[in-house]
Structure formats: structure tokens, C-alpha cells
Structure 1
Amino acid sequence: MSDENRDATRPLAELLSDLKTNEAGLSEDVAAKRLQTYGQNTIHRQKQQSQLVIFLKNFTSLMAILLWVSGIIAMLSGSVELGIAIWAVNIINGVFSYWQEHRAAKATDSLMAMLPTYTRVHRDGKVKQIDALDLVPGDVFDLQAGNAVPADARLMAATSLQVDQSALTGETVPELKSVEFTPGEGKYSESNIVYAGTAVGAGTAEAVVIATGMNTEFGKIASLTEKQSNITSPLTLELNRLTKQVSIIAMIIGALFFITAIFFVHYPINKSFIFALGMIVAFIPEGLLPTVTLSLAQGVQKMAKRHALVKDLNSVETLGETTVICSDKTGTLTQNQMTVNHIWLPTGEFTVSGQGYVNNGQVQQHNQPVAKTGTPDLNRLISIAALNNDTQVENDTKSKKPKILGTPTEAALVILCQKAGFNTKQHLKIMPRVKELPFDSRRKMMTTIHQENQQLDIYVKGALSDLLGQCTMIQENGIAREITDADKQAINAANKKYAVQGLRSLSFAYRAVPFKNQDQVDGLEIANAEKQLTFVGLTAMSDPPRPEIYDAVNKCHEAQIKIIMVTGDSQLTAKSIAVQIGLTSNQVRVVTGTELDKMSDADLKVALKGEIIFARVAPEQKYRIVSTLQTMGEVVASTGDGVNDAPALKKANIGVAMGITGTDVAKDAANMILTDDNFASIVAAVEEGRAVYSNLQKFLLYILNSNMPEAVPSALFLFSRGLIPLPLTIMQILTVDLGTDMLPALGLGSEMAEPGVMKQPPRARNAHLLNKRILWKAFAWYGAIASAVSTLAYFFVNIQAGWPNQALLSSGIGYSRATTMTLAAIIFCQIAAALNCRTKDESLFKIGLFSNPMIWTGIIFEIILLTVLSYTPVLQGVFHMTPLLGTDWLFLCIIPIPIVLIEELRKWLLRVRRRAVTN
């Protein structure tokens, strides 16, 4: 379809001729041919990967491959059972990951849900109801309040038509549509074109289709969204890097042990190879992948409780890295509910609260009749707002929120009148509406005429610029007097003040004339009814910020996360809300979509470094903003609820869609959905994401520190040339890695966020899970202590058995008890390590020794497993274990106490030094 047909200034007759149609619509034959040419009126999506491919991806990550190799190594070392166990862990983890992501995926084509099922179309000179899929260019169809617009179309006839285009523009106020072209501000503002995916709020219309399916503006946005490839999460990249690091370390250590065993101990090559394989397996953290997955899954569950549904597990951690949030305004920072804030009368100004009107500090209760509590001028304004109104507000039992049947602006007036205790139904019985002069975009006013006994009350509301010129009188203290220039200056000054604050004003006036007969009523038209009016006052309204947004924004500032508002709303409104909620200062730069088009990428990067918000932006522009931020090295979370937000949501590192007001397109493109549409939930999710990353580092520290006590005893064997018998067998090493280490490590993955986590900046992009600090603590501190203790335990038993009497040691029971004691000492050192790893710098006792039940479940499991392996005859032979003596158990139980206390002393000294530097 030619873009020329989208030209709103083009004469309608010329457009119809080009489309080869007319006011009566197409014939069925012509429509059928066009359907074959243009295809169905639907959104085509790129071919999705098969479920089998998606399933297999969970088993082919670098860490998963490392686990497959670990299983093979275990089998080659003679430990077939443990090799199978390693593979079983990999399989269970892959299935779990697939199930978690598959459950979050949408099962239906959500883009189709945006289009109506049926449309009233003109075919063969008759009005027929057809499936919207069968609409074609040139079709003429009808629209009325409540209808979704099925295709891009040019209006042929319209009566008081108002269309909600927020799904495309983010603008909360419905667009006025008419047959005549009127230029508007921003994209999609043409007065005589309606767009697929939008909804009719009021009025009726007849339109001719100019584009269907992927050729609609809706389709173009969907196409842009689908072209975006999925971004590899930082966590995936980091795990891949970590896997390479661990693999290299394990291979180097294995090679060193292999060479040393051959040339230093003079071991046979086959024995040296098996010994080296055991060391490689010892240094591979087999529990890393399942622990990462479970930690992320636990993060997902915690976020769900805080109203954030995460579709991709890795997105949990990415949230913790977020440096910039590109946030929509409507429905995200605000409540998406127009509310009257102020009432201006010639006698004074009222500030409207949630309960009533506040004037000079006095609250008028909304449950009392206005006639008893309000001034005559206020009562008159409330009467006009209530009776000159076609909108109804009902309570939705499902969502427990008001359901609007009409326009948001009139709904705000309905709520205002309810707060004032005005009974609209009762007043309509006393003074019923006898005529209405509908709102239109030309005169920007609406008039209703009511009869009360022998009087006609003409009630008018509309834009001040149009209404004030029709006023010759002004009401003050219940008395109408002639309006003066000073009055008009005061009125315009109040209106300007509201505009600067980003509020939308609406003016009210009336005229009373004696009732004569019905012919008089019929004769009242715009020209003779909307004149010689008496001005009453103004209302100023806005879409108010969410109550919890102030604290959420403050937390983002403390966490050094930048928030950039990107909205389709006006400059004044955007800036007003941004300043009001503390998002920016009053000196913020506001860039419109038109200005953005003229900016180079270099200029945009400079602008993005400072305080900035974007207003009146189009979908491609929001996408450009997100892309530019990413090229600047930022980790971007983009929020939104409309179709227009989908490309940016897909492009962002984290796309966050609104669950209540969000369109299905936005939800499909997003990584995370907020079930309460609350920006504060994003902040909670970021906090959880930071906790997840911190927990992964705690787990890594815990896992790596056991590598030292596994390796050091074996090194003693090598460097003593066999004089010191091998303190641990390969089976016992694997027992630590896959048996006793796993559950405490999983407990660390469920640790709560440490205090102050949201008062730290996002981690640097070049920071890594495995860093020098972790390596030092794992090997030179925790590992060194565990190595010394386990070696001491080995000699403790050996000396009791008569060492260095080699013959006595090789007798069987003595050697088995020594290796069992070494393994048990490592396990009890790991009990202390699990407790120590719970915090980085804070005291363990501050967060609560027993505040993480999963840690203690793991500790109990370790002790039970050690007991079962030591005392079960069948397992004793497999794992080279034997029962320990009472003195052995006493020695073991004492081990964790000094290790925990020593670490508490180190953390205390660290905190003291930090406070000294700060002060």
C-alpha cells in the first residue's frame, strides 16, 4: 500500500479513487481478490525455534559441557557411579531451567489479541459483520464507543469521536478525531486517521481502510520488535568466562600433578593419569550450574512475591547490574488515572485532596451534600461538571478498581463530584437533560441543556481559550456580574500557572433562560446557545504520581541508577511530573521527538550524560535512546506498557512491561512483567538481582575454598615421594564436591540481601564473578585454614596409629580411619565456611546465626552423609571409609568454632578500618 495514502492532507475523494472504492464500500468479489493480494489482516511473527531446540540449549552451555566432561573424567577414574551422578545433576538442572522458562512463556499469539474479532463492514451496499482478519484496503467499516480499531483507516464521517491512542503514543488524553484534517503535535496526531490497536472512547465514525496487517503502523512496530535479536545476558557471558577460567586452572593443576607423579614419585603412567584426573575433577565446581539455576529460580520466586514476574532466569541477575532505567511516564510513574487537583473560582482556589476539598486548611467532607458544605460558586461548578458529562465510573469487582465508560477527563470530573457528595441521578430527575451539543475539535466545547420547571439551564464546559470569549458575565459569591478585563487577566493567569505545572485545565460556564416551549429547545444550537455565558471557574487535573514512586526514585538515586523519562506526553507534563517526584531538578533538559530527530548520535550521547527527559517521542526514537545508552556501556532497563514501547523493551538488557495496563505486545517483548504496574516493584527487583549476584560470589567462594584442602594433602603425598600416604582418595574428593558441598552451597544461594546493598553503585561492567578478592579469600585464607586443619586431622590419626611405621599404616583400618578423618575435617571446615560466607563484611551474628534455615539443613545433611558413609558396611568399601572414634568426633565438633571466631575478628577489623577511613 502506497505511503501516499497515509497523507492526511490528501483529499478524501482522491484517496477513495486511488483505493478504487467509494462510500458504499467494496463488493464481496473485489474484497476476496484483495484478500489474496494483501493477505489477512494479521501480524506475522518470525518463525519461532522449535521446543526441541530450546530444550537442548539448556544442555549445551559451557558449564553444562564442562559437567558432561566431568562425568566422563569421573568414569575414567573408575568412579562410574559418581560420573553418572554428575550427569544426573546436569540433566535435572537442564530440565528445571527449561521448565522454568517454558512456564513463563506465553502460549498464545498475543499480538492477535490486540485486534478485535469482528468488524461491521460495508459490502455490496449492506452492513455486514465479518472477521477482522478479512478486512482489506478499500473496505469501509463502522466504529462506535468501545470498539478497537481493526486497521489503519481514513475517516469518512465522525460524530464526537475520541480515540484512546495511549497504546501507540503513551498519551493519556484521548485524541479528538474528525473528517477534516487538523495538524497535531507528535506522531499519530492526524485528526482524520485512526490506527490499528487503538480504541474508541466516545462517538461514532465511518472509515475507509488504508492499510492492514504488517502494513499498519501497529505492524511496523511489531516488525521492528521482531527484528531485535535476544541479547546475551551479562550473567551468561560471565559464567562462560568463569567456566573457561576454571577449566584452565583445573587442567594446569592436573598436568602438574601428572608430571610430578611420574618424575618425582615414580608412579606408573596409568596411575599418574588417574591421579591427575582426580585432581582435575576436584577443581571443577560441579555444583556451580545447579546452584546458579536454583539461586536464580529463588530470585524469581522472591520477585514474584514482590509483584515482578521474570520470564528469563538470567534476567534476575541482569537487573542487579542495571545502571539506567528508561521509564515510561503514563501508568508507570503515574497512576494512569486523570484526577482533578485544583479548582479555581473568582473567590479563591481549592486544592482537591483524596477525601474532599481543602481550602485554607479546612477539609470539606465528601460524604456531606455540596449544598450544605460548598460555596454557591463551588456548587455551581460541581453541578455543571456532573450534569454536562457522558461518562460513567463503575466499580470493577475483578480488579477492584474504577472502570471508566467514557473519557478519562470526564471520569475525573465524575470522581470530583462524588467527592463533593453530588447525587447526579437525583439532580437529573429534578432537571433532566433535554438536549446536547456534542464536543468537537473545532470549537473545543460541549454543552448540555437542562429543564428545571420553567427554566432552561445551559451548561458549558471546554477549553478556556474558546469558552472565555463567549462569556459576558462572571459569577462571584453566587451573584452574576459583568466580566471585566481584570477578571479575564486573573483567569488567564490562573490557567497559565496550571499549564506551567503540567496540569490540564477545563473551564465551566452557564446561562439560564426562561422555558417557553419545545420549539425553543429544538431551536437552541451552537450559535445561539453558547453565547452570553456566565463564567464560573476552572478545574486543573493531571495523572498523579504513584504514592510509592517517591521512595522508589530516592532508592534509585542512592543506588546510583539513573532514571530517564521517555514519554509520548507533552513537555510541560513530563517535566512537571519528573520534578515533582524528584526524578530530576528543575534545570532538566527536555528533548522532544522533533528535536531528537535533528540530533546526531554524538550529540545524543553528550545529552544523555546529563539530566534529560524525552517527550513526544515515537517508537523508533525510544529504541534509538536505548541503543545509544547501550553503546555508552550502560546496562539498560526499559519500562513500558504500550505497543510503542515494544521495540525498546526487546532491545533493552531488561524489558519491563506493565501487567495490568500493559498491552500483550509489550508483555511479549519484555523480560519481566510487573503484576501491579508499580515502578517500586522494579526497584525491589533490582535489589533482588544484586542479592543474586552477591550470593553467586558467596557460593563461588565457598566451593573454591574446599579445593585447597583437597589438593594440599595430595601434594604432601607427592612431595614426600609417597612417605606420607595419600590422605584422600578420588572417591572421597568427589564426595566433597558432589555430596557434602552441594546443599550448603544451595543455602547460600537463598541468602537475603545484605543491608546497604541499594546504597552501592551497580557493579562495573569489567567486574567478574571470580576476582582477586575471592581467589585470595578462597585459597589464601579459608582454603589455607581448612588445609591446615584437615592435614592436622590426618596426622592426628596417623600418629595415633603409629606413623611413620609404614607397614602399620598400610594395614587397612588405620589408613581408612586417617582418610576418613581427613574427609571429615574438610567437611567440618566447610560447615564453618558456609557460615562465614553468608556475609561479606557484616557480622554473622548481626544477620542472625539461624536466619537461613536452608544453610542449617545443608549442614545437618553433611553430617548425616558423613555418618552414613562411615558406618554403612556396603558404602565403606566404595568410599574407603571406616567408623571414627569418640575422640575423633570431639576433635571435629570443635573445628568450626575457632574458624568462625577468627573470621568474625577479621570482619570486625575491616569494619573498623572502613569507618576510620570514612570519618
Structure 2
Amino acid sequence: MQEKSTRMYAQEELTKVYKELGTSENGLTKEAAETRLEHFGPNTIKKAQRESEFKTFIKNFLSLMAILLWISGFIAIFTGTPELGIAIWAVTIINGVFSYYQEHAAKKATDSLLGMLPQFTKVYRDGEVVNLESSQVVPGDIFVLQAGDAIPVDARLIEATSLQVDESALTGESVPESKKVGFEEGEGRFAESNIIYAGTTAVSGTAKAVTLTTGMATEFGHIAALTHEQKKTASPLQLELNRLTKQISIIAFSIGLVFLVAAIFFVHYPFAKSFVFALGMIVAFIPEGLLPTVTLSLAQGVKRMAKKHALVKELSSIETLGETTVICSDKTGTLTQNQMTINHLWLPKNEFDVTGQGYVNNGEITLNGKSINVADYPNLGMLVQVAALDNDTQVEQADGEPKIMGTPTEAALIILAQKAGFDIKQAKLDTPRVKEFTFDSERKRMSTIHQIEKDSYRLCLKGSLSDTINLCDQIQDGDTLRPLTVADHERIDAANKEYASSGLRSMVIAYRDLGQLDEDELNAIEFTEAEKHLTFVGLAVMSDPPRPEVFAAVNECHEAKIKIIMVTGDSSLTAKSIAVQIGIVGENARVITGSALEKMSKQELKIALADEVVFARVAPEQKYKIVSTLQEMGEVVASTGDGVNDAPALKKADIGVAMGKMGTDVAKDAADIILTDDNFASIVAAIEEGRAVYSNIQKFLIYILCSNVPEAFPSILFLFSRGLIPLPLTVMQILTVDLGTDLLPALGLGSEKAEPGIMKQPPRSRNAHLLNKRVIWKAFGWYGLIASLISTGAYFFTNYENGWPSVSLAGSGSLYMEATTMTLAAIVFCQVANVLNCRTQNSSVFSIGLFKNRLVWYGIIFEILLLAVLIYTPVLQGVFNTTAIQWVDWAFLFAIPIPLFLIEELRKLIARRSHPELY
């Protein structure tokens, strides 16, 4: 029964539908419903199966970098420094727990997929209507709907009165669909006139329907299942960190091997001593602070995004968004406001632009920037009156925002009347409605009859231009009425075509004075008789307007070299109009509909995606196809949306961005980031944060590698002098820099905000890596080399003050300890300059605030205090081979960062002047 496709029921006779479903117009018996519930299961949407909490927890400790750190801890313990080994493990454990907590909290906050279905439905059981939990509805159940009800199942209509259904969650179409009992195929998917779908909402009218499919067998369920099938792959950041770990591992172990061989054959150390020496160098080249720095950088970005109304579900998601090259954006509710708004009023003598105007009282309406009294424009006053009276929608203020009870189209007309200061409640009392002819998809109009005086009546009507204009005999021209001429028809048609070319919808506002009618005549009159000899008043022109902030956001995306592709279920004309209006594409952009996309080969689609293109009337599977094709082209794709139809693409994309206020729970569940304010501009802010995260990780890498060069340089001198130059830096001192003095300043770099110009640069290439030529040059050839010369110079200068080269370099004793202490201290103070220099790539540190990043300065203070503790604490002096130094030595050390900082500022100034367009 339930294996049959929903659409296959659309064209069948109701009697046959009843027979196939084993039901009748009186519904099921209680016993039959219970049997079917056992067979089909509850009417719920299954969630994607997630890995166990234990597995989620453990994986935070088993990444390549984490494994390398576990090994480093073993090496440290093996070399006789258990305290350092334990410290490395502690860093790994704390980082893993922190990462798990962040991800667990985010998942818990968005774990609400089932909330989209309504809780209760009015269902016929044993011939009576009962209020039943929606999860208990089964195929064959007969249920009733009224305006505002969410639809719990896929169903075939049995009865329908003025039923309009908001299907935007499934189709992306902002205009509600009219539904009726008779079959019409309609345009696009889910457009069958007599089928209603789970996950949509009745916005007006009433209906009675028979349930066809429930739960995962509904179209809603099929889309959810398609979403569940998509497995999230490792994020670009995770892949890059794995690559970096492999690179660092190769470098570290290669250096260790070189030092092992050199120690044995050049210095003639015993193998055991050479092995311990080599292991110490391996540990020195492993950046133990990388994982906590990455986590801190991501967490800081997440916190900043939370303040900008974006909930990040997984830490790595924010960095992925920073790499985005293409945004596939839905239109309705994402780029637009998802509420119809009157843009223009076309009247025989005047055309008024009312876009974006506010509420005005006392009979005035703000038109084209100035207030105009409605009384001065009879057409305008009549248009407002008819639009307000021929209307079943209410618009109320709730929490400072309009709350619509009815259809978006009628709501736009009500808001227009409110702008004009029209007292709707009083007008309904003065001119009560006595009869109505409800909207239907065949007439494409609605009319109501109102008593304007005793036994005198007026018909108020609104409808589509093509189905209404030929019913008009005359036109209201100012305060006079005259016949509607051919010239009038041509003017009205030309105006409508101009509006349509901009993606706007025109609606005719008309009326007819019926004169005096007695009660029998009033009761007997039908719409065929009443809706003729109309007086044309004007056109109300409307659209779903773009969000005000989206224009700047789109422009910023273009500056950041990020391509935006609109992918919507809306009509091609509307889609292109909005895309051109907000600057996504130019006038010559290609529009591809879902039916055309269905016939395109993968190669043809790739050619189309390489140019400016807009996709309209697309199905969920087609959105998924677009995203996957872009990924095959090497793009990093962010997909935005709010509907059920967006969920598969959100899950497939490198980064899925769902709308939090207007978005469905299915979309939120599939997404990586949820915008709590539904603001497209928040995506741009998130991209900036993502780029900052990656930049901060690279800053950390440069900083941490800087100290590796001065750490290794003394050992090179020791080896290649065959031991004649004693080790200027011991293994314990090397590890002190890596795990002690360097760690906190490096973590401070992880909290650095985006520097100026970051959004004027293109997204990083997939072929670009954290450890690239620029990083290697800065770390080894610039910062590292300078630090090596200074620290080694400090070692030799200390010996020089004590008689070298007249006497041999000391390999032990107080002089040796003083020399190694100065070498260690010089490296630390070089790193003070380096951490300040690493805060920006080419911008001046003064431009972002020298003291703005407090974590960096706390780290600097900490490393200096730690150095002092190691130097002046007797117990630690023996462990770390240090000794007390004089105040003159401290003066020399504090002077080191100043020239290093100023030299780098000069280099950055030259770089900025070479590329002024980026700053």
C-alpha cells in the first residue's frame, strides 16, 4: 500500500483511492488503525544515525597529531625527563576533552529534527473526529485542516475550500500554492493541485484529505533519507592538519636520524648516548602546542560568531567556511525576506513607489520619499479600501515584528492599508461583509460583497490581471469614472510587462457598485453574475524583497573572490530578477530550470557553472547534483538554505549553512552552521572569521618553528666541530622553550582577530598548505636565522668576556652554565619580538593595536617570569643547567626585541606599499 508513489494517486478516482488504501470517507476504525500502526510504524522522521558518544570522545585523542604527541611523551620519558612526557600527555588530554565538549554542546543545541511535524491532527476514527497525536496517523486515515495547521502526511484532497498551502519548505517557492479536489498537474515538483505534502502548512481555507503515505515514505521522508545517506568527509582543515603532521614527522625524524649518525661518526659518542641526543632533537621539532592552538583559535572564532548570531556545530566548520570559493544560496528566506511586499501602486494617473517605507497614520502614506494625503488621490484611497476589505488576513505585531495570520499576498495589502493609516476595524464595522466568493485557482480572483448603505452594496475584488481585466468595463481616473478604452488596456498591459520583467507580480484591484439588493437577490447572486461590469482602480505590484543587508554582503563576497550561485525552487523570471537586483549576476546571466538541468550532461553542467548562472525550479536531488559537480571542479562549496528541500545539498556541501528562524529542523540538522538571525550578511562575517582561524594557525606555525632554528643551530655547531664547541643549549633547555616559554604566547596568536585586508584576498587554493614556502622562509630564513645569530652570539660573547678564545670553551662548570643560560634567554627574548611580529602578515601591528591582544602579552609576561624562575631557583638550576645572570645581561636581553620588531615593521611597510589594493 505505502510502497506506491504519492503522485500516482493524483489522477485516480477517489473511489479507487479509497479502495487501494482500504478506507472510506468516514475514515478507519480504531482496530484497523492500530493494525496499520504496527505495520507501517509511527508517523515520524528517523534521524541520521550518529556514532556513539564514546567513539566521538575517543576520536579526539587519535588524530595524527595526537598520536605524534603520545609518542613524544614516551620519548621524553625514555630520555629521562618524565615530567616533560607527562606535560605533553596532559596537553593532549586537555585538548581532546575541550574539543569533545565544544562539539557535544553544539550538537545538543541543534538536536531537534522531529520538532517540525505538528503534535496533533484532527482525524476521523470510527466515523468521529478525534484530536490525535500526529505520530499515530496511518495510511488511509481521513483528517481535516484549517488555516494555520501544519500538514503531517502526504495526502489526497477530498474536500477543499479556498485552500492555499505554503510549500516553500519543499520547493523554495515564496508564493503559496492553491489546492483543490480536481487534478491539475501544475508547474514543477510538488505542484499537483489535489496532493498536499508533509512538512508544509495550510495558510488559508479548509480541507479534508485522505492519508496516502506517512513517516519516511512521504516526500519529506525521502528527502530526509537522501540527507542521511550523505557521509561527512574530513574537513579541509582536518586534512591539512594531517598533512602537516606527516610533514613535521618526516622533518623531525629525518633531523633525528641525521643527528644520530653525526653524533656517532663525527663526535664518536656511544650509540646509547647518541640515540638519546637524537630523540631529544626529534621531540624539539614536534610542535606540541599545535592542537591546543588550533582548538583555541577555532573556539575563539566560534565565540565571536555566536555574538554575530551564528551557531557553529563543529569547530572545524568555521575554518572550512573561510576557504569557501562558491556559495550556493537559496533565495526565499535567505536572500529575500520571505514575505510579500508591495513595491509599486499603478494608477491611471500616478505610479507610486512604496518599497521599504514604514507605517504612517492619519490618512497619509509615504510614497516615493514624501507623505501624501490619501484624500488627494481618490484612486489611491479606493485601492486601499478595496484591498483591505476584500481580505481574510490579519497582521498583528508580536515582539516588534508583524505576525501574519493568513496568506503573504493578503498580508502585503493589509500592511499597505496600515501604511495609509486606513482604519480596517472601523471600515469593517461601517461596511460589513455580507457575502464572499473565495479564491480558486480557476478564477484566480477573490471578491467580497459589503453593505455600504442601507440595502446598497459594493463588490470588492482582487485578482490576476489576465483573468480580471476583461471583466472591467470602466476605469476610475482620479475622481471620475470613464469607459475602459483599448488605449487603457495597452497602458496597463505595458506596465504589467515591465513589472514582470523585474520579477514582480501585478494584482488588479477593482470594484463594482451593485446598487440596492433585497435579501433574496443577495442570497441568489453568484460570482458569474457579480464579477462583471467592474471598475478598474489600479495595480498592486508586489514581490518578496531582498534583505536590506544582502547587497553589501554580496559585494563583499565579490571582493573576497567568492562566487555566489542562486539555486531556488522559485520561477526563473523571479530568480533572475532578484539575482540581478542584488548584484549576484549581470543582466546576461544564464538561467537554467530544473527540467533543463535534468537533460544536461555532467560536462555541460560544468561549463555552465564556470560562467554566471542562476538555477530555478530545481528539485532537491538537483541541488545536490549542483553542489557535487562544483566539488568535482575543485571548488570548496558552502550551501545555504532553510527548507527541507535544501537539506541534501546542505549535507553534501563542504559547509552547510541553515537559517535558524525561518529554517526547518531538517535543514538545521543537516547544516554545519546555523544563522540564528537568518541574515545572509552573517555568512560573510563567518567567512572572515574562518580566514582568520587559518591565518592564526599559520601565524602559530611560523612562531613555533622560529625557535626550532636557534634550538638546532647550537647542536649543529657541536656536531660539526666534533665536540670542540660544547653544546650551547642542552636538550632540557630545548624542551623548556617548546613546552614552557613558547606555549602561552603561541596560544595567544590563536585568538587574534582578522587583520585588515583579509577579505580582499582570494580564498586559499586547495593546493596551498599550512607549511608553504612563505612559512618556511619566514620561520627558517628570516625570524629563525636572526634568532640563531643572536642566541649563538650571546653564547660566544659570554665566553669572550671570560677569556675565550685565549682559553678553550668551557664544557662544564659555572662558565658553561652561564653561557647556556644566556643562549636560552636570548632565544626567549627573540621569541618576544617574533610573537609580536607574527600577529600580522603585512599589516602594521600598530594598526590592530599593539596591546590589543591581551593573551599574547600575558604569554610574554609568563615566559619571562618562567625564565627568571629557571635561572634563580636553585633546585631548577641543576635540572635545566642554568645559573644566575647579572642585571647588565638583563638589559641586553630586554633590548633584543626592539630592533627585531622595528625591522619587521619596515618590511611590512614595504610590502603594503607594493600592494596598496589589499590594505
User: TM-score, with normalisation over the residues of structure 2?
Assistant: 0.97
* C-alpha contact (below 8 Å) 1:451/1:515 kept by paired residues: no
How far apart, CA to CA, are the structure 2 residues paired with 1:535 and 1:122?
46
How far apart, CA to CA, are the structure 1 residues paired with 2:905 and 2:756?
17
SS of 1:106's equivalent in the other structure is: helix
Q: How many residues align?
A: 910
Change (3 A) 1:806 1:37: farther
Match of 2:33 among 9, 31, 34: 31
* C-alpha contact (below 8 Å) 1:155/1:207 kept by paired residues: yes
Once the two structures are superposed, the pairs formed by residues 339-378 of structure 1 within 5 Å of their partners are 339-353=341-355, 354-355=357-358, 363-364=370-371, 370-371=374-375, 374-378=376-380
* C-alpha contact (below 8 Å) 1:437/1:448 kept by paired residues: yes
* C-alpha contact (below 8 Å) 1:221/1:643 kept by paired residues: yes
CA shift, 1:906, in A, is: 2.9
How far apart, CA to CA, are the structure 2 residues paired with 1:178 and 1:286?
67
Change (3 A) 1:512 1:62: same
Indicate yes or no: 2:887 matched with 1:880. no
- What is the match of residue 23 of structure 2? 21
SS of 2:108's equivalent in the other structure is: coil
Q: Per-residue CA shift, 1:353-405, capped at 9, x if unaligned?
A: 4146889966226xx6x33xx411111000001111111111112xx321100
- What is the match of residue 779 of structure 2? 778
* C-alpha contact (below 8 Å) 2:366/2:419 kept by paired residues: no
* C-alpha contact (below 8 Å) 1:323/1:762 kept by paired residues: yes
How far apart, CA to CA, are the structure 2 residues paired with 1:466 and 1:814?
102
- What is the match of residue 47 of structure 1? 49
How far apart, CA to CA, are the structure 1 residues paired with 2:682 and 2:51?
31
- What is the match of residue 187 of structure 1? 189
Change (3 A) 1:134 1:108: farther
Q: Per-residue CA shift, 1:124-178, capped at 9, x if unaligned?
A: 1111122211211111111111111110000000111111111101111111010
* C-alpha contact (below 8 Å) 2:594/2:615 kept by paired residues: yes
- What is the match of residue 571 of structure 2? 570
Once the two structures are superposed, the pairs formed by residues 369-448 of structure 1 within 5 Å of their partners are 370-371=374-375, 374-397=376-399, 400-448=400-448
Indicate yes or no: 2:816 matched with 1:815. yes
* C-alpha contact (below 8 Å) 1:152/1:193 kept by paired residues: yes
- What is the match of residue 552 of structure 2? 551
SS of 2:801's equivalent in the other structure is: helix
- What is the match of residue 738 of structure 1? 739
Which residue identity is paired with 1:411?
A: A
Which residue identity is paired with 1:422?
A: F
How far apart, CA to CA, are the structure 1 residues paired with 2:799 and 2:863?
24
CA shift, 1:328, in A, is: 0.5
- What is the match of residue 210 of structure 1? 212
Match of 2:133 among 131, 134, 137: 131
- What is the match of residue 762 of structure 2? 761
How far apart, CA to CA, are the structure 1 residues paired with 2:384 and 2:844?
61
How far apart, CA to CA, are the structure 2 residues paired with 1:509 and 1:842?
63
CA shift, 1:5, in A, is: 5.1
SS of 2:440's equivalent in the other structure is: coil
* C-alpha contact (below 8 Å) 2:352/2:368 kept by paired residues: no
Which residue identity is paired with 2:209?
A: A
* C-alpha contact (below 8 Å) 2:336/2:547 kept by paired residues: yes
How far apart, CA to CA, are the structure 1 residues paired with 2:646 and 2:754?
31
Which residue identity is paired with 1:112?
A: L
How far apart, CA to CA, are the structure 2 residues paired with 1:107 and 1:41?
24
How far apart, CA to CA, are the structure 2 residues paired with 1:267 and 1:469?
105
CA shift, 1:519, in A, is: 2.4
CA shift, 1:456, in A, is: 0.7
SS of 1:45's equivalent in the other structure is: coil
How far apart, CA to CA, are the structure 2 residues paired with 1:347 and 1:75?
91
* C-alpha contact (below 8 Å) 1:350/1:358 kept by paired residues: no
Match of 2:242 among 213, 222, 240: 240
- What is the match of residue 749 of structure 1? 750
- What is the match of residue 835 of structure 1? 836
Once the two structures are superposed, the pairs formed by residues 350-749 of structure 1 within 5 Å of their partners are 350-353=352-355, 354-355=357-358, 363-364=370-371, 370-371=374-375, 374-397=376-399, 400-454=400-454, 455-749=456-750
CA shift, 1:95, in A, is: 0.5
* C-alpha contact (below 8 Å) 1:637/1:654 kept by paired residues: yes
- What is the match of residue 282 of structure 1? 284
| Stretch moving more, 901-910 or 481-490 | 901-910
- What is the match of residue 160 of structure 1? 162
SS of 2:705's equivalent in the other structure is: helix
Change (3 A) 1:498 1:909: closer
Change (3 A) 1:75 1:5: closer
SS of 2:303's equivalent in the other structure is: helix
SS of 2:84's equivalent in the other structure is: helix
Which residue identity is paired with 2:371?
A: Q
How far apart, CA to CA, are the structure 2 residues paired with 1:728 and 1:702?
19
CA shift, 1:845, in A, is: 3.1
How far apart, CA to CA, are the structure 2 residues paired with 1:668 and 1:871?
57
How far apart, CA to CA, are the structure 1 residues paired with 2:367 and 2:806?
98
Indicate yes or no: 2:278 matched with 1:271. no
- What is the match of residue 140 of structure 1? 142
SS of 1:447's equivalent in the other structure is: strand
SS of 1:116's equivalent in the other structure is: coil
SS of 1:438's equivalent in the other structure is: strand
Change (3 A) 1:49 1:4: closer
* C-alpha contact (below 8 Å) 1:340/1:352 kept by paired residues: yes
SS of 1:876's equivalent in the other structure is: helix
CA shift, 1:258, in A, is: 1.1
Change (3 A) 1:711 1:34: same
For structure 2, list consecutive stretches of 5 or more residues without a partner in the other structure.
Answer: none
Which residue identity is paired with 1:414?
A: I
Which residue identity is paired with 2:180?
A: S
For structure 1, list consecutive stretches of 5 or more residues without a partner in the other structure.
Answer: none
Which residue identity is paired with 2:438?
A: P
Change (3 A) 1:914 1:177: closer
Change (3 A) 1:360 1:257: closer
How far apart, CA to CA, are the structure 2 residues paired with 1:60 and 1:808?
46
Q: Per-residue CA shift, 1:826-851, capped at 9, x if unaligned?
A: 00000111111122223333333223
- What is the match of residue 112 of structure 1? 114
- What is the match of residue 71 of structure 1? 73
CA shift, 1:324, in A, is: 0.4
CA shift, 1:901, in A, is: 2.3
Change (3 A) 1:679 1:42: same
CA shift, 1:868, in A, is: 1.4
* C-alpha contact (below 8 Å) 1:803/1:809 kept by paired residues: no
Q: Per-residue CA shift, 1:479-515, capped at 9, x if unaligned?
A: 2222222222222222222111101111111111333
| Stretch moving more, 685-694 or 355-364 | 355-364
How far apart, CA to CA, are the structure 2 residues paired with 1:125 and 1:840?
75
SS of 2:596's equivalent in the other structure is: helix
CA shift, 1:59, in A, is: 0.5
* C-alpha contact (below 8 Å) 2:168/2:174 kept by paired residues: yes
Which residue identity is paired with 1:443?
A: R
* C-alpha contact (below 8 Å) 2:725/2:809 kept by paired residues: no
How far apart, CA to CA, are the structure 1 residues paired with 2:614 and 2:803?
79
How far apart, CA to CA, are the structure 1 residues paired with 2:277 and 2:432?
97
* C-alpha contact (below 8 Å) 1:351/1:358 kept by paired residues: no
SS of 1:347's equivalent in the other structure is: coil
CA shift, 1:813, in A, is: 2.4
Change (3 A) 1:576 1:261: same
How far apart, CA to CA, are the structure 1 residues paired with 2:395 and 2:550?
26
CA shift, 1:812, in A, is: 2.8
How far apart, CA to CA, are the structure 2 residues paired with 1:109 and 1:271?
56
Change (3 A) 1:598 1:864: same
- What is the match of residue 253 of structure 1? 255
